[in-house]
Amino acid sequence: MTDSFQLGPIRPPSEAHSLLIRATKNCSWNRCKFCHIYKGQRFELRPVEEVKKDILAAKAIQDGLKAMAWKSGYGGSLEAVVTTVLQNPPNEAYFNIALWLYHGGTGAFLQDANTLIMRTPDLVEVIKFLKETLPSITQVTSYARSKTAAKKKPEELKALHEAGLSRLHIGLESGYDPLLEYMDKGVTAADHIKGGKNVVASGISLCEYVVLGLGGKKMWREHAVETAKVLNQIDPAFIRVRTLTVKEGMPLYQEVQNGSFVRSSDEEIVEEEKLLIENLDCGAYFVSDHITNLLQEIEGKLPDDKDKMLAAISRFQSLSPEERHNFRVGRRVGIYSELADMADEQKHKLAEHAIAKLSDDGKKVSDETIYFLMERFI
Ligand code: SF4
């Protein structure tokens, strides 16, 4: 039995403690201008038998760690063994299993970018095998494209839900058609609505991702308003935001270099987020748990917490320009997690030192440097 299994490059932040099983490889679309993850990699549907072998390899690693725990005493408690493996894992698969077990061993995430594109009977077979082989798993989630979800028949999505698919994560990015076209997303607002509604109707929990700043200086207003309209129609369980990053390897990088796409600053993106939230009229839980977001504390259940979320934005916007700058730099270098951290004198001073070090005039760090600081986390 092999002691490793395939792992894809990414998973949503909320799946950090899930077992990762690579049911497909890379992205079936792979053309979005703002994405570099799978560029140059060919999409592959992995044979079901191959995916099952990976699930068995995951079980073998899990069983090996459990056996070690029994041998080492402490009534078979896994914690000590898992902590040791996390400090020095033999490979990434061991690390993933150890982390998964440490956090209860209940979640599994099927990689890569659009596993829903598998033939429905194949995906049902993978999910059932996964749950039978590792019965501690109670949550199975995956990424999907709206277009694929729009093409699936309602009975197919229901069959997936019955097999154990609990949540789909969809990159909505925007609900504004000219922006979706410009970014080569390969999806329209109507596709997003159809795909999203199909998922919601099947009983599978839906998380939609929005990219703040995607419209740049030119389309930010339409991006915010039209995205809210699409989300209101879908009414997903979760809306998660992340902020645009631009890195070499993304087609958008060239457009930023040649000036055809002009990025919004942090402060403009906060204004865009305000407009998005103001226009949301649905029952989703709004989450900002991505490292790229300036204001990660903007979180709550709509519509009840809307005022609370907008108040967090107002707190930032009512700061003096110097204090806003202090927060932006402090947040991007990792000193602050949220606005309330500015009350900590030591952290505030550290942010001031960072500004003095990173700016030419000792007072103002350029937007380019701030973008760079944000992007080094990605
Ligand atoms: S569909 Fe998702 S993974 Fe594929 S290119 Fe677009 S953003 Fe990237």
- Of 315, 281, 289, the residue nearest 13 (C-alpha): 289
Residue 123 CB neighbour total at 10 angstroms: 24
Determine the atom of ligand 1 nearest the C-alpha atom of 31: 5
Residue 1 has pLDDT above 50, yes or no: no
Write out pLDDT tens, residues 61-97: 999 999 888 887 766 678 888 998 899 999 999 999 9
The per-residue pLDDT for 74 is 63
Measured in degrees and rounded to the nearest 5, phi and psi for residue 295 equal: -110, 85
Q: Categorise residue 167: left if φ over 0, alpha if ψ from -120 to 50, beta otherwise.
A: beta
Question: Quick check: 236 pLDDT over 80?
Answer: yes
∠ Cα 297 299 300 (to 5°): 145
What 3-state class would DSSP assign to 333? Answer: coil
CA dihedral 363, 365, 367, 373 (to 10 degrees): -150
For 208-228, how does the pLDDT look when each residue is reduced to its tens digit (9 = 90+)? Answer: 999 999 999 999 999 999 999
Candidate from 126-130, 158-162, 248-252 with smallest mean pLDDT: 248-252
27 Cβ inside 6 Å of ligand 1 = yes
Q: What is the pLDDT of residues 321-342, one digit of tens each?
A: 999 999 999 999 999 999 999 9
Instruction: Give the Å distance between the CA of 17 and the centre of ligand 1.
Output: 22
Tokens 């501690």 -> residue: 136
How far, in Å, CA of 28 to CA of 49, rounded?
A: 20
Q: What is the pLDDT of residue 360?
A: 87
30 lines ligand 1 (CB under 6 A): yes
What mean pLDDT comes out for the span 129-149? 98
Element (H, E) at 287: strand 285-287
The contacts found for 260-266 with CB under 8 angstroms, 24 or more apart, are: 261/216, 262/216, 262/217, 262/218, 263/213, 263/216, 263/217, 263/367, 263/371, 264/213, 264/215, 264/216, 264/217, 264/220, 265/367, 266/294, 266/328, 266/367, 266/370
Is the shortest distance between the CB of 32 and ligand 1 below 6 Å? yes
Pocket test for ligand 1, best of 11, 24, 38, 183 (most atoms within 8 A of CB): 38
Phi and psi of 111, rounded to 5°?
-90, 170
Q: How far is CA 215 from CA 81, 164, 224, 225, 252, in A?
A: 48, 36, 9, 11, 12
Q: Is pLDDT of 122 > 90?
A: yes
CA of 206 from ligand 1 middle (Å) equals 17
**Omega before 154 cis (within 30°)?**
no
Taking all residues of the chain, what is their mean pLDDT, rounded to a whole number? 95
Q: In this model, does residue 2 exceed pLDDT 60?
A: no
Shortest-distance atom of ligand 1 to CA 171: 2
Of 60-74, 112-126, 239-253, 292-306, least confident by mean pLDDT is 60-74
Atom of ligand 1 nearest to the CA of 185: 6
29 lines ligand 1 (CB under 6 A): yes
Distances (CA, A) of 141 to 47, 113, 116, 193, 310: 19, 12, 10, 20, 30
29 Cα: distance to centroid of ligand 1 (angstroms): 6
Instruction: Identify the pLDDT of residue 5.
Output: 96
Query: Using an 8 Å Cβ cutoff, are 33 and 184 in contact?
Result: yes
Bridge partners (DSSP) of residue 207 are 169, 238
Interatomic CA distance for residues 271 and 257, integer angstroms: 24
| Statement: residue 271 has pLDDT above 80 | yes
Top-ranked range on mean pLDDT: pick from 8-12, 169-173, 359-363: 169-173
- For ligand 1, atom 4, the nearest C-alpha belongs to 30
Cα–ligand 1 centroid distance for 21 (angstroms): 19
Q: According to the model, what pLDDT value does residue 353 have?
A: 96
Centre of ligand 1 from the C-alpha of residue 30, in Å: 5
Average pLDDT over residues 359-364: 87
The pTM for the full model equals 0.94
